[in-house]
Chain A
Amino acid sequence: MHPRTLFDKVWAAHEVRPQQADTPAVLYIDLHLVHEVTSPQAFTMLRERGLQVRRPDRTLATMDHSTPTTPRNSLGIIPVTDGQAAAQLDRLRKNCADFGIPLFELGSANQGIVHVIGPEQGLTQPGMTIVCGDSHTSTHGAFGALAFGIGTSEVGHVLATQCLIQNRPQTCAVRVNGRLQTGVSAKDIILAIIAKIGVGGGTGYVFEYMGEAIRALSMEERMTICNMSIEGGARAGMVAPDDTTFEYIAGRPFAPQGADWEAAVARWHTLPTDEGAVYDRVIELDATTLTPMITYGTNPGMGMPIDGVVPSPDEMSDPSARTTLDKALKYMDLQPGQPLLGHPVDVVFLGSCTNSRISDLRQAARLMQGQKVAPGVRMMVVPGSQQVKAQAEREGLDAIFKEAGAEWREAGCSMCIAMNGDQLAPGQYAVSTSNRNFEGRQGKGGRTFLASPLTAVATAINGKVTDVREMLTEPVGV
């Protein structure tokens, strides 16, 4: 048989109807994740047309985007004080009840960011197709699934038919050679890739991350990388499943058990790309020379090594690119040639579907232990799910953050999308472990430097942008 890539295999296994001269392919969807913000209009469409949800048993809903992360009240309830958000959450509750969809409600033990709970529950498995009305669905590709974000019309398509109309994307191998140095993390790999190719550089492609550096990463680190595939414009990002993948899935609530487990692992072993398979494009990155990365501008491609200086619009030959960088630097109130090291910050945000899992919190807590958040700096720690929060509390991580003066919050998207009241004030600077530094993303007028959890903690301690390597003598394991 013709050698095939991981992507080719997953795509072929889900073609209900192949692409034809005048019609795109019809692709079957194994798992559909739903949240409160991008689903209400899709359910309205179903009602208007008298349609049912075809496979509620392949659908799971949670509440994450507009939910408060403020502490529970004396009754153990997380109060929703924003009337509009409360109405949106009520609508999801009603939609799930009416159409028979399981829902991990706000306040329940399994609630959390949609891209944290899928893997955590063992629902995300190799070889699956997974979609959600959220661009960071690419996260699930870390397991060797084909996972991508869709719009609300497509949410309606999947609810009604469990299928999507898709044009076949091209494939791009992203090979990360060598091993990372101390203080450099998965977040730095993906920020470096996006800085290299630009925010539109991957448009039309599905990335497959590979190479020694990727193989050495934990599942949660692989999720961090796949999560930000969309920030490079790629439709999805994937990593071939291996023993690291299988060990992560084993024993989780929705993972196959017993004989089914053995059969699943045997099937998953057939997924990695065949020897000799050809990609439409190849990108290479050397992990050994990689440093901690930070963004200086208003898209995730405007990133540089943490000890670099802000580039000058005058160096841009393309007039449109020059205007864009000039506008970004004005918004950020930064000057060409300026270093970011030592730049004061007002807020440090540790959270989001990029970096809010237990390993992120463990790594951050180990660096934070016995230290204090600098005076005048607000540090928010927002676990990705209630399960992550509970685990962190069992390990005493919450105590480390609280003793340092950081806020320990309930689970949700929080200041990554800033639609729940967790936001920057105009003009404030933040180092954020999230995925987007767009104008106003973390609050109107707020200015975001994207970085790793380690850089975030180092910055919180010093109150200014810090190269974490100065604080480390040995690797901070997870």
Chain B
Amino acid sequence: MEPVSTFAAQAAALPIENIDTDQIIPASYLKVTDKAGLAEGLFSNWRYNADGTLNADFVLNRPESADARILIAGNNFGCGSSREHAPWALIGYGFKAIISTYFADIFCNNALKNGLLPITVDTETYYQLVSMCEEDPSTTLTVDLENQTVILPEGQQVSFPIDGFAKYCLLNGVDQLGFLQQQEEAIAAFEASHSQPVATISPA
């Protein structure tokens, strides 16, 4: 995984609450065995008309938002299914961060493991950002992970929380599996001291 640090990017607003992972990437795109091509399915129910043409009204299809790499979305973004295809599709499309008032649990975990930043802000900041993007679609935000701040065009700084361990992994471009593998001794000790409730290979 590439380390994540400070970046500046254009933002687009999708001010809808409870955007579920079925909207981010519908189930019909999940019949793959790799991560390729998922960006095509991103928001496909909204991005495309029934005949498959682009829906010109959808924010990401507007020419002025073509370069958006930060998405501002309503609360509880990523609710629903556990599909990691959702962050894969967002990243495949080019997004580097999502800003919302809060994120669904599993989506947040999945995003952090793939270098997509879930940035939580308060409601007031959220509405401020939505208005800014709607008034000026070229609005560019700077995200500084090290200092956990979003810097607005006029210099206003908004801090955001992030899990310390996830931040360490993102800044250093290391994945979390490595940490688990380092726990081998403790895992083996746990297994030796706990009896197994079930064995799936042969019924008791």
Q: Cβ of A135 < 8 Å from any Cβ of B?
A: yes
Contact call B18/A160, Cβ cutoff below 8 A: no
From B59-67, B105-113, B138-146, B151-159, the one touching the partner chain is B105-113
Contact call B22/A16, Cβ cutoff below 8 A: no
Contact call A233/B84, Cβ cutoff below 8 A: no
Q: Cβ of A438 < 8 Å from any Cβ of B?
A: yes
Q: Inside 8 A of B175's CB, which chain A residues have their CB?
A: 153
- Closest B residue to A256 by beta carbon equals B204
Q: Cβ of B26 < 8 Å from any Cβ of A?
A: yes
Q: Cβ of A93 < 8 Å from any Cβ of B?
A: no
Among candidates A22, A165, A324, A438, residue contacting B17 with C-beta atoms closer than 8 Å: A324
The interface on chain B, measured as residues whose beta carbon lies within 8 A of the other chain's beta carbons, has a size of 61
Number of A-B contacts (CB under 8 A): 222
**Interface SS, A side:** loop
Contact call B84/A254, Cβ cutoff below 8 A: no
Q: How far is the CA of A338 from the CA of B200 in the complex (A)?
A: 51
Given A22-B164, A88-B31, A254-B203: A125 touches B197 (CB 8 Å cut-off):
yes
Given A26-B183, A84-B32, A327-B16: A204 touches B165 (CB 8 Å cut-off):
no
B residues 162-204 touching A (CB-CB < 8 Å): 163-165, 168, 175-177, 179-181, 183-184, 186-187, 190-191, 194, 196-201, 203-204
Contact call A150/B82, Cβ cutoff below 8 A: yes
Shortest distance in angstroms between A332's beta carbon and chain B's nearest beta carbon? 14
Q: How far is the CA of A299 from the CA of B83 in the complex (A)?
A: 17
Q: Inside 8 A of A324's CB, which chain B residues have their CB?
A: 16-18, 74
Contact call B17/A320, Cβ cutoff below 8 A: yes
Q: Inside 8 A of B198's CB, which chain A residues have their CB?
A: 30-31, 58, 122-123, 125, 128, 254
Q: How far is the CA of A13 from the CA of B197 in the complex (A)?
A: 13
Q: Cβ of B5 < 8 Å from any Cβ of A?
A: no
Q: Inside 8 A of B165's CB, which chain A residues have their CB?
A: 22-24, 165
Binding site for B on A (CB under 8 A): 13, 16-17, 21-24, 26, 28, 30-31, 37-38, 40-41, 44, 56-60, 65-66, 82, 84-85, 87-88, 91, 102, 121-123, 125, 127-128, 133-135, 149-154, 156-157, 160-165, 167, 199-200, 203-204, 230, 233, 235, 253-257, 260, 264, 299, 301, 319-321, 323-324, 327, 417-419, 426, 436, 438-441, 444-445
Binding site for A on B (CB under 8 A): 15-18, 20, 22-23, 26-28, 30-35, 45, 50, 74-76, 79-84, 102, 104-106, 109-110, 113-114, 127, 163-165, 168, 175-177, 179-181, 183-184, 186-187, 190-191, 194, 196-201, 203-204
